[in-house]
Amino acid sequence: MAQIAKMVAQRLALGLLTLFVVSLIIFLAVELLPGDFTQAVLGQSATPETVAAFRKELGLDQPAYLRYFHWLGDIVQLDLGRSFANQRPITELLGPRIYNTLFLAAYAAVIAVPIALTFGILAALYRNSIFDRSINVAALTAISSPEFLAAYILILIFAVELGWLPAIARVNPDTTFFERLYILLLPAVTLTLVTMAHMMRMTRAAIINLMASPYIEMARLKGLRRGRIILRHALPNALAPIINVIAINLAYLIVGVVVVEVVFTYPGLGELLVDSVSKRDMPVVQISCLVFAVTYIALNLLADILSILSNPRLRHPR
């Protein structure tokens, strides 16, 4: 156990270092974008005087490195700052949207992960059968079509023609939990369609890969049923790659869903990031990117830890 604690600590430290590097890259990337916030906001109405007055108001007239260290200093003290655009505290701006994004991601994951694992195991069990082939074709078709297309098709069928579900996912603070589940069903199914194939096929491949190992052959020679071999003998050893794929897909559900958010007009983080980038609202862009980076790092860390725990050889290294 002490070893695991040590490893987690090491990973966390590395994660923090990564975050620092990421923060630098984000800052540089935002600096490199053509034009700045003042010009983007004033648009056609940007005259040299208004731009200068505005820059001064926001402290944009200071050199970049100074601004970076000020920003970093504030972050370390957990002061996320305020949006340039409307002067609202970023925590207030980000809070409800992080909740919305996580809610949708969790909802989609709760649907997608069990289905993907079950279908993956079944596909391995009935390898090369009609079932295996059709499930593969269906999953690959779903992942190959762009998500907005899948979303529009679902909207057309379930919202416009049948009228069972809402076409837009408008939630507000008064929406109850069960209303949310109803409103978000279409977006969650869309996300399930685009993430399921990856997890399912990885499950299938990992299990099939192990099926050729000598110890599985031994189990089969002992006369065990195929189902038992797969669930008890193959699956535990196939967990590491499966966990990693699930982690990547969970991260995708959080950081990569902007298209689905736009199609369903769901107020999530992606929309906030896109708006902020196009307006060059640097503080919000930086914090949103940091949130995404933290998500990736945390999920990967979790996946690593779980893989190690699932593997006795890594748990007890000689």
Partner 1 sequence: MKYNELERLFLERRISRRQFLAGAAALGATTLAAGVIGKPAFAAPKKGGRLRVAIGHGSTTDSLDPATYENDHIISTNFTFNNHLGEVIETGEIGPELAENWETDDAKTWVINVRKGVEFHNGKEVTADDVIASFNHHRGETKSPARSLLEQVDSIEKDGKYRVVFKLNAANADFMYVASDYHIAIQPDTGDGTIDATAGIGAGPYVIEHWEPGERAFLKRHPNYWKSDRAHFDEVEILSIIDASARTNALITDEVDLIDRVDLKTVNLLKQRPNAKVEEVVGFRHYTFPMRTDTAPFDDNNIRMALKLSLDREQVLNSVLRGHGRIGNDNPISPSNRFHADLEQRTYDPEKAKWHLKKAGAEGLKVDLSAADAAFPGAVDAAVLYKEHAARAGITINVVREPDDGYWSDVWMNKPWCACYWSGRATADWMFTTAYAADADWNDTFWKHDRFNKLLKEARAELDQEKRAEMYAEMQSIVRDDGGVVVPMFANYVFATSKSVRHDGTLAGNWNLDGMKFAERWWFA
CB 50, min distance to partner 1, A: 5
Residue range at the interface with partner 1 (CB under 8 A); choices 23-31, 79-87, 248-256, 293-301: 79-87
In what helix (H) or strand (E) does residue 155 lie, and over which residues does it extend? Answer: none
Q: Does 38 bind partner 1 (CB under 8 A)?
A: yes
Residue range at the interface with partner 1 (CB under 8 A); choices 14-22, 105-113, 195-203, 270-278: 270-278
* Angle, vertex CA 204, rays to CA 113 and CA 306, nearest 5: 55
Name the E strands within 153-249: none
CA distance 158 to 185: 10
Q: Does 284 bind partner 1 (CB under 8 A)?
A: yes
Residue range at the interface with partner 1 (CB under 8 A); choices 13-21, 163-171, 244-252, 290-298: 163-171
Q: Is the four-CA dihedral 92, 97, 98, 103 of positive or negative sign? A: positive
CB-CB contact of 123 with 139 (8 Å): no
How many other β-carbons are positioned within 10 Å of the β-carbon of residue 282? Answer: 24
Which of 46, 117, 143, 205: binder of partner 1 (CB under 8 A)?
46
Q: Does 168 bind partner 1 (CB under 8 A)?
A: yes
Q: Does 210 bind partner 1 (CB under 8 A)?
A: no
Q: Does 93 bind partner 1 (CB under 8 A)?
A: yes
CA distance 118 to 40: 49
CB 64, min distance to partner 1, A: 18
Per rule CB under 8 A, count of chain residues that contact partner 1: 47
Q: Does 19 bind partner 1 (CB under 8 A)?
A: no
Residue 281 or residue 304: which is nearer to partner 1 going by CB? Answer: 281
Which of 15, 81, 166, 256: binder of partner 1 (CB under 8 A)?
166
Residue 120 or residue 270: which is nearer to partner 1 going by CB? Answer: 270
Which of 10, 12, 17, 57: binder of partner 1 (CB under 8 A)?
57
Q: Does 84 bind partner 1 (CB under 8 A)?
A: yes
Residue 83 or residue 237: which is nearer to partner 1 going by CB? Answer: 83
Residue range at the interface with partner 1 (CB under 8 A); choices 154-162, 233-241, 246-254, 310-318: 154-162
Residue 202 or residue 284: which is nearer to partner 1 going by CB? Answer: 284
**Count of CA atoms in the C-beta half-sphere (13 A) of 103:** 24
Which of 202, 211, 281, 292: binder of partner 1 (CB under 8 A)?
281
Three-state SS at 69: helix
Long-range CB contacts (within 8 A, 24+) of 32-38: 33/277, 33/280, 35/280, 36/60, 36/280, 37/84, 37/85, 37/279, 37/280, 37/281, 37/282
Q: Give residues with Cβ within 8 angstroms of 199, minimum separation 6.
A: 112, 113, 116, 117, 120, 242, 245, 246, 249
Residues 248-267 that bind partner 1 (CB under 8 A): 262-265, 267
Closest CA to 243 of 308, 313, 160, 163: 308
CB-CB contact of 259 with 148 (8 Å): yes
Which of 30, 167, 219, 235: binder of partner 1 (CB under 8 A)?
167
**Count of CA atoms in the C-beta half-sphere (13 A) of 35:** 15
Residues in the site for partner 1, rule: CB under 8 A? Answer: 33-35, 38-39, 41-47, 50, 53-54, 57, 83-88, 93, 96, 152, 155, 159-160, 163, 166-168, 170, 172, 262-265, 267, 271-272, 275-276, 278-279, 281, 284
